Structure 1
Amino acid sequence: MTGDLQKEQGTITANIGRKEGSIIERAVVAAGQTAITHYKLLKEKNGMSLVEIQLETGRTHQIRVHFSAMGHPLVGDDLYGGSTARMKRQALHSAMLTFTHPMTHQLLHFTSELPNDMVQCMMEA
């Protein structure tokens, strides 16, 4: 994300709903659905922050909307105010996913390394 966070960790609790006049964009709106995002700062450099995020809810565009509303849009996310100068796509990556399979009830756990373009962007920062 862009900018330096004021707190190293925190929780964003802000309702999210459709942005007025748009069928795609979402916004923080009082009448929206509850949305809760936990974050922890991992690294800051040259106006960018690398954060670990844990979602308590799963609203459409939740991470993008919450951080944009805080004044820290994602690098490459021009829909929510981020610049595409460093990356031509949203700097958003799911490194880990864990859930219980709905049929087998088996706990499934998946991990994924950072894509090369994100690694490169972090090295340039």
Structure 2
Amino acid sequence: MKKEKTREFMVEEQGELLGFLLDRLSNRSRNSVKGIMTRGQVSVNGQAVTKHNHPLRPGDRVTIHFGMVSAGKKLNGLQILHEDDDIIVINKEAGLLSIATAKERDLTAYKQLMDHVRSQNARNRIFIVHRLDRDTSGVMMFAKNEKAKRLLQSAWQEAVLERTYIALVAGRVEQTKGTMTSWLKETKTYIMVSSKRPGSGQKAVTHYSVLKSNRAFSLLEVHLETGRKNQIRVHMQDLGHPIVGDKKYGSKKNVIGRLGLHAQVLAFKHPITGKHLRFETTIPDKFLQLFG
């Protein structure tokens, strides 16, 4: 994926970096400009500078790098793939909660990312846009302000251009391509149940194709047409090939020590800039090792 553009300015008068940037980026708030500096997006004569009072002299070249400002930064159980003023995109490991529960409040993706953005500015926040199950790995996005959150949540189906999952399931799936359609609803014991009767829950549509298979397992590429809770997990159970390690939905054994579900691709229209962004992660090695 291409990085967003850079902007370059030549210094004509002596002064300090923050004041220079506030003048050149007059359409942005003071906090936004400070955030750009803190995240290492500003360089002077080719060297990254984060000090607000860094002295500037005539002839200095100031460059602002927009886009993937924290790409590659690793926290506990996640890696930041992209960060800008409005969103953060991460690659979450299996086992890490997206948000807090009654039993776990500290070690979550949400809490760690909140600490991350507040290390740049104490007023910064992040907002939940969608979730991945604790034992599902892969690409996940958070908003960094109310406007981005509102725009994404109010038009999620229109904003998301592609959501691709990789599912490791039990047994050989004979049909190389297929579509699962049913209506899902949640029981009092928090299990999603599937029905073929229209209107008996939320309509859920899942498309799949077989990437690899052997007698014991199949590796599927899965595309969501709708995004219901546990949708892929329930539909794989309906297919007769539950996801490996998914005891809740029919799996009898766990040969990889985790749930066999990975959010591989998330592509969407940026809620503020309108730019199309696409993030793709590699298939977990544990999935591939079962196919030699």
Q: CA deviation at 1:76?
A: 1.0
Q: CA deviation at 1:47?
A: 1.8
Matching of residue 27 in structure 1 with residue 206 in structure 2: no
Partner of 1:64: 233
1:49 to 190, 211, 218: 218
What fraction of aligned residue pairs are identical, expressed as a percent?
Answer: 37
Q: CA deviation at 1:36?
A: 0.5
Letter in 2 for 1:21: K
So what's the TM-score if we normalise by structure 1? 0.87
Distance 1:81 1:105 in 2: 41
1:7 to 175, 182, 203: 175
So what's the TM-score if we normalise by structure 2? 0.39
Contact preservation (8 Å) 1:10, 1:39: yes
**More deviation in 109-118 or 63-72?**
109-118
Contact preservation (8 Å) 2:212, 2:291: no
Where does structure 2 lack aligned partners over 5 or more consecutive residues?
1-168
Larger Rg: 2
Higher relative contact order structure (alpha carbons within 8 Å, sequence separation ≥ 6): 1
Contact preservation (8 Å) 2:246, 2:259: yes
- SS of 2:189 mapped into structure 1: coil
Where does structure 1 lack aligned partners over 5 or more consecutive residues?
none
Partner of 2:97: none
Distance 1:77 1:105 in 2: 37
Distance 1:83 1:101 in 2: 41
- SS of 1:93 mapped into structure 2: strand
Letter in 1 for 2:289: Q
Distance 1:21 1:95 in 2: 31
Distance 2:174 2:288 in 1: 24
Contact preservation (8 Å) 1:13, 1:35: yes
Distance 1:60 1:45 in 2: 29
Matching of residue 85 in structure 1 with residue 251 in structure 2: no
Partner of 2:274: 105
Size of the aligned set, in residue pairs, is 121
Letter in 2 for 1:32: G
